[in-house]
Chains A and B, each alone.
Chain A
Amino acid sequence: MAQYLLLLYNDPREWAKMSPEEMQKAVEKFVAWRKKLQNTGVYVGSNKLADEPGKVLRGHKPVRITDGPYSETKEVLGGYFLFEAANYQEAVRLSQDCPSLEFKGTMELRQVDAMIP
């Protein structure tokens, strides 16, 4: 078993167009999907990232700190889910019904490389 990090990118303007009823439906879908991960025992954690762009640190003595990164597309990294899967194939299978895709989001799936014992 390895851990997989699923990064969710979306265009906030897509969300903003939704009506209250549509937003509730979307929340319910996410809740159900997250619950599915929990029920199968593979869920590790998930978090929403703050909307404002963070900081980019570069250089060494002195460290240069800038705002960003600013996304070149309209999509921003909104948050992530961390879960366990046997391999990429299974991780993809678990990810592909994530509701984010329904709302025109893009997702990036990365395996967490475990420490070689």
Chain B
Amino acid sequence: MQGDGTNTLQGTAIASSMIDHLFRSRAGQMVSHLTRMLGPEHLELAEEVVQESLLKALQHWSYKGIPDNPAGWLFRVARNAALDAVRHQSLVLEKEALVEADYLRRNDTAADDPRVEAGLRDDELRMVMMCCHPTLPREARVALSLKTVGGFNVREIARAFLAEEATISQRLVRAKRQIRDLNLKFEMPTGAELSDRLQSALQVIYLMFNEGYVAQSGEDLVRHDLCGEALRLGKLLADSTIGTPTSKALVALMAFQAARLSARVNASGDLVLLQDQDPSLWDTRLTAMGFHYFAQCSEGEVISEYHLQAAIASVHANATNPKGTDWKMILELYDQLMALNPSPIVALNRVVALSQVRGPEAGLDALQPLLREASLKRYYLLPVVRGHLLCELGDQASAAQQFRDALLQPCSEPERRLIQRRLAECT
């Protein structure tokens, strides 16, 4: 008798817990899956059907508890709702889609059947590829990917991008119209088109990641989730048959950076600079993932920006204390990065590495040409770096002026507080 009791208890414990982000990640999968079934012109219908199914889950599970196979439950309800919509609106499905829908209906094992799982991953990849079509504006690609594959809603996307909900809504509506008007296909591109699209997808994923990473505010978890979603999509690409060494490099880069996410913000929500971080707070699981993908990414001939960025991140990850950072190596990698992409931002980062190797004076010299750079005119980190170097040289007054200048430029609240702290130290 007692044994039975224990079993039941365990059973309830399992059935009543859900994987983190189950709704969100399955929403993305289901939208992708239904979009293939219904055709990209019915993307909106797919989204509606999925939203309704999640709503049903919310209402039913609240009273009756979580079913044994929550993902399977969601899929069954969503698929049936989609087929109902097809009947009501007299949509014409491709024969293939009908056969598959029929198979899935008779074999209700969505979450367990490896064949179905692999199919769902393919659907997600195709959705990413469609959302990253080069004819769509770049901002729309990010928003659309987050909405469809990521399972974020308009409010969350707007919050993550510090944008108005109406702006994001419009962006999405326009993008969906373009998908219809351009008759974009829900399929895996091939040949040269594939590598173009892959490049665009990696760009979108990294943009998504940076959006979450750069202005991490601690109180707003959506930004944290953005990094998680970018990492998930990156892995989805990198682990698939179309995964290239470059996509593995991007995953490595994101994993290294994500590992430091929680160490970047302290208990009061303030930013902690890399050199002040406690490495024991780094997520070792993510660091290990970073090294895993980093080892794999060197397999090809190509050395992309992601490769070099990942290499830089790996040097930081290797340093168990800030004093042990191999800045010489980092400077070398920045030199290579400059050869590949001589952007002012990369140049600014290189200055930081340079000053670590050759001292603050050399850093200030290297900064000179960047002061005339138009694209950095309103970039707060330029005066921050300059102030930091001046401070090291003992010129507190000039340093303070730089930090004051930095505060006039747009930046996030935690970053603003960090600069204010630096300013206070100088005055």
Residues of A within 8 A of B (CB): 15-16, 18-21, 23-24, 26-28, 30-31, 34-35, 46-48, 78-79, 81, 99
Contact = CB atoms under 8 A, between A and B. Distances in A.
Contacts of A23: 23, 54-55, 57-58
Nearest to A19: B153
B65 A15 contact: no
Interface string B48-79: 00010011011111111110000000000000
A66 to B, nearest CB: 25
Given A16-B51, A16-B55, A26-B58, A21 B18 contact: no
27 contacts: A16-B51, A18-B55, A19-B152, A19-B153, A19-B156, A20-B24, A20-B26, A20-B51, A21-B152, A21-B156, A23-B23, A23-B55, A23-B57, A24-B21, A24-B24, A27-B61, A27-B62, A31-B16, A31-B66, A46-B63, A46-B64, A47-B63, A48-B63, A48-B64, A79-B59, A79-B62, A79-B63
A41 to B, nearest CB: 13
A34 B153 CA distance: 28
A95 to B, nearest CB: 15
B65 A34 contact: yes
Contacts of B156: 19, 21
Contacts of A26: 58, 62
Nearest to B13: A35
Contacts of A20: 23-24, 26-27, 51, 54, 151, 153
Contact of A21 (B24, B51, B55, B63): B24
A35 B14 CA distance: 13
A28 B58 contact: no
Contacts of B65: 31, 34
Contacts of B21: 21, 24
Contacts of A78: 59
Contact of A30 (B22, B24, B51, B62): B62
Contacts of A16: 51, 55
Interface of B: 12, 16, 18, 21-24, 26-27, 51, 54-55, 57-66, 151-153, 155-156, 225
Contacts of B60: 48
A79 B155 CA distance: 28
B236 to A, nearest CB: 18
Name, among B23, B51, B54, B55, the residue most crowded by chain A CB atoms within 10 Å (CB to CB): B23
| Interface secondary structure of B, over-half rule | helix
A19 B16 CA distance: 21
Name, among B57, B63, B64, the residue most crowded by chain A CB atoms within 10 Å (CB to CB): B63
A24 B18 contact: yes
A24 B55 contact: no
Nearest to B150: A20
Given A26-B62, A30-B61, 4 more contacts: A19-B151, A35-B16, A48-B59, A79-B59
Given A20-B24, A20-B27, A21-B151, A27 B55 contact: no
A20 B66 CA distance: 16
Contacts of B61: 27, 30-31
Nearest to A46: B63
A20 B22 CA distance: 9
A15 B225 CA distance: 22
A26 B58 CA distance: 7
Contacts of A46: 63-64
B63 A27 contact: no
A5 to B, nearest CB: 13
Contacts of B23: 20-21, 23-24, 27
A106 to B, nearest CB: 16
A48 B55 contact: no
A48 B62 CA distance: 8
A34 B225 CA distance: 28
A79 B61 CA distance: 12
A15 B155 contact: no
Contacts of B58: 15, 18, 23, 26-27
A72 B51 CA distance: 26
A21 B65 CA distance: 18
A89 B66 CA distance: 30
A38 to B, nearest CB: 8
B271 to A, nearest CB: 25
A28 to B, nearest CB: 7
Given A19-B152, A19-B153, A47-B64, A27 B16 contact: no
A23 B18 CA distance: 12
Name, among A18, A31, A47, the residue most crowded by chain B CB atoms within 10 Å (CB to CB): A31
A46 to B, nearest CB: 5
A23 B66 CA distance: 13
Contact of A19 (B63, B64, B155): B155
A27 B60 CA distance: 9
